[in-house]
Amino acid sequence: MVKNISWTNYNNFVDDEKMTNICVLGMGYIGLPTALLFANNDHEVVGVDVNHRVIETLKNETMPFEEEGFQEMLDNTIKSGSFRPETKVEDADVFLVAVPTPFDTDLRMADLKYVISACGMITPNLRKGNLVIIESTIPPKTCEKQVTPILEESGLKVPDDISLSHCPERAIPGNTLHEMVNNDRVIGGIDDRSTYLTAQLYSSFVKGNLHLTNSTTAEMIKLMENTFRDVNIALANELTQIADDYDVNVWEAIEVANKHPRVNIHTPGPGVGGHCIAIDPWFLTETTNKASLILTSRQINDSMPKYVLQQVKSMLNDVEKPTITVFGVAYKGDIGDTRATPALKFIKLAEKEGYRIKIYDPFVGEFDYPVLGLEDAVEESDCIVVLTDHSVFKEMNPGEFCGEMRRLNVFDARNVINLSFWMKCGYKTRIIGISD
Ligand SMILES: NC(=O)c1ccc[n+]([C@@H]2O[C@H](COP(=O)([O-])OP(=O)(O)OC[C@H]3O[C@@H](n4cnc5c(N)ncnc54)[C@H](O)[C@@H]3O)[C@@H](O)[C@H]2O)c1
């Protein structure tokens, strides 16, 4: 249960703690912005990454990725000396770990190799009084059972000598600065002192509320948030298939149901992708045999590419070896990220059916399949299948390219296209969750 710890009590713990020097491991989408925010708020920060190219880029005062507000912060903090990119861990008051926690697709669990290696890198530099914070997304009990024994290889004891907390990140790329500063944060220490020290540290730049709890609860909260979204999307996807049986327009039904003050059904689609929502439910359930709703929801969302393909097939019954053009392979709109995208499963299933696939995605450069320009992608195509809700698809006028296509069919698995534009051009249109 989340504890409400008064700030007066909190002050008893932290009055004379020195937490000026911070060593952040992992200079990616989460670690680098966090390091810069601390450096910009009266801390001396060393940013460590095992990828030398990332460190070289930072030493040249260049952000390795675009994120509004951070280039200026990098310039300022490097100039003032409050931020230093390095390849080796240095002594510090606080060590913060923000390294990847990929999904092991064979075992269906978190692959903690980077967290384990980062903690091992810290151990030789640990001294009494240090605080270690894990920001990486981790399964419940990781701080207690996996991180603690590694830190104790230093000869010091957790929590008597070393404080340890989990402080999960909820910021979204594209709006990182605003969200890191303004979102509420969950802070869970291995003991109260760890919690309080971590809360004091983050209060230097976080304006949102700090919710204080223990490390295992914090680990679980982060995973619960994304699991809630996955289960809710699965519900929308299942309702879509039921609505099809009843010839009900599921979009209209969801919209009206959501007018109820206590109902909030998410939207259906071709499945769930990305490195969080589709993966965190597995982290949450990997060591329990109590999960059934969560795993069923995963199955439903994973089956959506097949469902979309069935719908597309029914539009192309009379076409031999059809060519289809996938519009959008990013896992969500207006970004170029294709990690765990459901589009990949759709494409592989369609290929098995003998379909020829062409891909258009104005945001994606590299993908497992060639991504073409619009004209090449629609040339001689029998059907366009919209799998990503990119804004450009919303107002796209097919009049500019319908002459290139062999047949005029479009299936929209996101309900984003402007139907009247497409119908005016003579397209046969179908939208997920709306039967003919
Ligand atoms: N990006 C997001 O939107 C987001 C949101 C919430 C939570 N998270 C979680 O935050 C964590 C970090 O994600 P990210 O997106 O910043 O990852 P990322 O891939 O962008 O960056 C991670 C960096 O860590 C470096 N690294 C790996 N091992 C290292 C080590 N031992 N020491 C130092 N550096 C090391 C890598 O070279 C890489 O540059 C993950 O657990 C992720 O699930 C990410």
Q: Which atom of ligand 1 is nearest to the CA of 168?
A: 7
CB 271 within 8 A of CB 236: no
In this structure, the residue with its CA closest to atom 10 of ligand 1 is 136
* Ligand 1 close to Cβ of residue 99 (< 6 A): yes
pLDDT of residue 172: 86
Q: Given the DSSP bridges, would you call strands 409-412 and 21-25 parallel, antiparallel or unpaired?
A: unpaired
In whole angstroms, give the CA distance from residue 33 to residue 185: 15
| Dihedral over alpha carbons 202, 208, 209, 211 (to 10 degrees) | -60
Ligand 1 centroid to Cα of residue 396, in Å, is 35
In whole angstroms, give the CA distance from residue 250 to residue 268: 9
CB 89 within 8 A of CB 48: yes
- Other C-beta atoms closer than 10 Å to the C-beta of 351 total 12
In whole angstroms, give the CA distance from residue 131 to residue 194: 7
Question: Is 167 labeled as catalytic in the residue annotation?
Answer: no
In the block, tokens 């003998």 appear at 354
Ligand 1 centroid to Cα of residue 413, in Å, is 31
**Sheet with 409-412: strands ordered across:** 356-360, 323-327, 383-386, 409-412, 428-431
Which are the contacts of 285, defined by CB distance < 8 A and separation ≥ 6?
291, 294, 295
Judge if the upstream peptide bond of residue 124 is cis by omega within 30 degrees of 0: no
In whole angstroms, give the CA distance from residue 264 to residue 246: 22
In this structure, the residue with its CA closest to atom 44 of ligand 1 is 30
pLDDT of residue 298: 97
Question: Is 23 labeled as catalytic in the residue annotation?
Answer: no
CB 171 within 8 A of CB 28: no
Ligand 1 centroid to Cα of residue 7, in Å, is 32
End-to-end CA distance of the chain: 49
b/e sequence 2-12, b meaning 16+ C-beta within 10 Å: eeebeeeebee
pLDDT greater than 50 at residue 3:
no
In whole angstroms, give the CA distance from residue 398 to residue 407: 13
Cα-flanking dihedrals φ and ψ of residue 139, to 5°?
Answer: -65, 155
Question: Mean pLDDT over residues 269-279, rounded?
Answer: 95
Question: Mean pLDDT over residues 353-369, rounded?
Answer: 96
Ligand 1 centroid to Cα of residue 26, in Å, is 6
What does the block give as tokens for 93?
């008051």
pLDDT greater than 90 at residue 430:
yes
- Other C-beta atoms closer than 10 Å to the C-beta of 77 total 25
Q: Which atom of ligand 1 is nearest to the CA of 136?
A: 41
Cα 211 to Cα 188, 203, 214, 299: the distances in Å are: 8, 11, 10, 33
* Ligand 1 close to Cβ of residue 25 (< 6 A): yes
pLDDT of residue 173: 80
Predicted confidence band of residue 18 (pLDDT cuts 50, 70, 90): confident
* Ligand 1 close to Cβ of residue 30 (< 6 A): yes
* Ligand 1 close to Cβ of residue 174 (< 6 A): no
Ligand 1 centroid to Cα of residue 167, in Å, is 14
Assign 3-class secondary structure to 360-394: ECCCCCCCCCCCECHHHHHCCCCEEEECCCCHHHH
* Ligand 1 close to Cβ of residue 98 (< 6 A): yes
- % of the chain exceeding 90 in pLDDT: 93
* Ligand 1 close to Cβ of residue 118 (< 6 A): yes
CB 355 within 8 A of CB 322: yes
Question: Mean pLDDT over residues 39-48, rounded?
Answer: 97
SS3 289: coil
Structural domains in the chain plus CATH codes: 7-218 (3.40.50.720), 240-436 (3.40.50.720)
In this structure, the residue with its CA closest to atom 21 of ligand 1 is 28
pLDDT greater than 90 at residue 377:
yes
Ligand 1 centroid to Cα of residue 176, in Å, is 14
In whole angstroms, give the CA distance from residue 361 to residue 328: 5
pLDDT of residue 2: 43
Q: pLDDT per residue over 383-428, tens digit each?
A: 999 999 999 999 899 998 999 999 999 999 999 999 999 999 999 9
Question: Mean pLDDT over residues 228-255, rounded?
Answer: 97
Q: What angle do CA 418, 422, 426 make, to 5 degrees?
A: 160
Q: pLDDT per residue over 61-110, tens digit each?
A: 999 998 999 999 999 999 999 999 999 999 999 999 999 999 998 999 99
Q: Which of 60, 1, 75, 73 is nearest to 33 (CA)?
A: 73
Question: Mean pLDDT over residues 191-199, rounded?
Answer: 94
In whole angstroms, give the CA distance from residue 202 to residue 180: 10
Residue of 276, 345, 358, 383 with catalytic role: 276
Predicted confidence band of residue 24 (pLDDT cuts 50, 70, 90): very high
